[in-house]
Structure 1
């Protein structure tokens, strides 16, 4: 878990027989992974004129994603990804159409939040299915770690590019464009992934067994530690995703909000690749608290710039610790996840991130309206500073001997 990764390791992983089709289709499915929630937030804000209402609707959507990721992950660990992804895509499409109609008809907030939750819980979970597939395509070792790192890096790219695309599309004549475009990309990519040969042949191995605990993969102490780290990460990121557009709007440049968020991706991807080559701290049980604490400090500093240019530069710096955290969460699952729970375990990471983002967006929306965006950045930094010591106290749960390995390799 502490090995350095080289470009050759990434090439070997992505050129593995059977990997090309799942890689390409999952990229399309994950493109809007952070776009739909924010596009929905901006769509509702443009329609209602209230960041508080929009934050509540977006938080409901993210809460739905949190529940859906674990539920779908558990089902896919038992049945494989093909049928669950196809069914989820069909139901998801219906709920997106209903939400658009509700927004356009100025339905009550309760209706908007309920439909937003339904959209989230039925959002096809291609990302956990894609990560779990690598345990079948590759044996344990550095190349599989490179595949996990690729998954984290590509997911983080879309977590950052998604808000930028949402911000650009909401500026079009119809502000709901981002929601529709994101939904179409997700459905086409998810159905395409589900129909690939590797996905259709994904079944539990005879020696695998799912956890008997009601908590499933979250039943192990190591998984709870990873989930706590992901929760803190999501909370901080969610607060930034509301505070930055609010800063742009207060400055009279609302169209720049989503674009400014995309600045995070520049340093995130570059540093993420470099960090995989020489990760620090080397031990995983020390890496999670150190990365969260550093991220919290950089976000708190976002309160200092007085211009949008200054904030953009600060965002460039803060983005440097996004992908390293996401990669660490993904790789840590090989230590923490019980056997036979590969998809569900990553679903719990998504659940933790999205629940954190939901709480962060909702909290940030209220702070922005009451005290302004700078106070939201400071509060986010304080939350991270409180969670990092909690991770440090739980560090022994991520020692390699603390939990069983995730799964065993088998050819597809």
Structure 2
């Protein structure tokens, strides 16, 4: 757990730190948004590939290899930025950073399915995973925003990468993780793998809508802070909505609503999208921070719902890959949201990014609602299996 915490701490830091770093070097939020989006696309591809490999050979070797490659690519990326490389080159390096980022989160979540039995204890462990990630979403943006004020703008990128590499090596080499062996019936069918499950595709769509909405905000808020002449406040403001997210997430986890997972996924996404639209109203950073606290209440409940839904819709032998698909969906959503938000901020206005986030999020919520039967069917099948197992 301790090494996993260290390795996952920069999970919300690397992309934002790169965005701030490239924006400082190029003076363009549009270029910075594209580089950050490329890194997220790389994470989206790498998370599934790494998850599938971990299910088949165990997590230790893949984590060691990817952590080494990640360190090398981050070093090359920093050298490219410092040498004034053109935007297409920076985008390529951003993609390389993302695809080699070690998927400690997926391996950590899958660890609990092996260490504890299904039931309240495992539910608590998965809730811990979701809430701890929200803590990182508090610290990551805040650290990125503070470190951008350091004498060198790339400090956040290097510090985040160092934590991730050390954490990945420590996690991979712990006896608990080294003892993990591949599941005897690990799924090997087809290119889609675990995503062949209709229910998992619905969960992935919910996760993608969640990522798109956050992606718009993660560019718009720093842009709003920069426009007031207080760029470091952008990261601190983003940390605010994670504070309310953790606080409300603990309360929500005791009595989640709606109870049926098939309705919970679209309801939470729709509510979150509407709250994000309120960000277009504030006229000062203080009022923006207050609205971010309100909007953040539905962040952790969604992350917890996605994680819990995987237990219903994916086979246990593909748990790491299934979580990788959810990470992929979120990061693709983040990439789309950040890239479009950068263009809207630069050519229309910050308010347009918030409105677009609401509209796109609601569209995803409608699609997830229309596909709710795929999740409900999986939940019914899971309940039918319980008597036979006991």
TM-score scaled to structure 2, two decimals?
0.96
Alignment match, 1:353: 330
Aligned to 2:317, the other structure's residue is in SS state coil
Deviation of residue 396 (structure 1)?
1.1
Aligned to 1:224: 201
Is the 1:333–1:345 Cα contact (8 Å) retained in structure 2? yes
Q: Which runs of 4+ in 1 moved over 6 A?
A: none
Q: Does 1:102 align with 2:94?
A: no
For 1:148 and 1:306, the matched residues in 2 are separated by 38
For residues 138 and 27 of structure 1, what CA distance do their matches in structure 2 show? 19
Q: 2:356 aligns with which of 374, 379, 393?
A: 379
Q: Does 1:123 align with 2:101?
A: yes
- Indicate whether 1:253 and 2:221 are aligned: no
Deviation, structure 1 residue 108? 1.3
| Structure 2 equivalent of residue 6 of structure 1 | none
Q: How far is the alpha carbon of 1:400 from its aligned partner?
A: 5.5
Any residues of structure 2 matched to 1:230-241 within 5 Å, and which? 230-241=207-218
CA distance in 1, matches of 2:257, 2:113: 25
RMSD over aligned Cα, in angstroms?
Answer: 1.4
2-structure distance, mates of 1:342, 1:154? 19
Say which of 22, 26, 35 aligns to 1:44. Answer: 22
- Residue from 30, 39, 42 that aligns with 1:64: 42
Residue 60 of structure 2 is aligned with which of 79, 82, 88?
82
Matched residues in 1 for 2:301 and 2:324: separation?
19
Q: Distance in 2 between matches of 1:377 and 1:205?
A: 44
Secondary structure, counterpart of 2:85 in structure 1: coil
CA distance in 1, matches of 2:378, 2:196: 16
- Matched residues in 1 for 2:337 and 2:3: separation? 30
How far apart in 2 are the matches of 1:383 and 1:103?
32
Counterparts of 1:259 and 1:354, CA distance in 2:
21
Q: Distance in 1 between matches of 2:295 and 2:197?
A: 31
Structure with greater proportional helix content: 2
In the alignment, structure 1 segments of 5+ residues that lack a partner are 1-22
Deviation at 1:187, TM superposition (A): 0.5
Deviation at 1:338, TM superposition (A): 2.5
Query: Is contact 1:339-1:404 (8 Å) kept?
Result: no
Work out whether residues 338 and 403 of structure 1, in 8 Å CA contact, stay in contact via their aligned partners in 2.
no
Q: Report the alpha carbon displacement of residue 249 of structure 1 after superposing the two structures with TM.
A: 1.1
Q: State how far apart, in whole Å, the 2-side matches of 1:165 and 1:126 are.
A: 20
Displacement of 1:386 in angstroms is: 1.2
| C-alpha contact 1:267 1:320 (8 A) present in aligned 2 | yes
| C-alpha deviation, 1:392, in angstroms | 0.7
Shift of 1:209: 2.7
Q: Look up the match of 2:307.
A: 330
Q: Which of 95, 98, 115 does residue 137 from structure 1 map onto?
A: 115
- Which ranges in structure 2 are unaligned for 5 or more consecutive residues? none
Deviations 1:29-81 (A, max 9, x none): 11000100110010000000000000010000000000000000000000100
Give the TM-score of the pair, scaled to structure 1: 0.91
Q: 1:170 aligns with which of 145, 148, 152?
A: 148
Partner of 2:344: 367
Deviations 1:266-309 (A, max 9, x none): 10101111111010111111100000000000000000011110
Aligned equivalent of 1:343 = 320
Equivalence for 1:398: 375
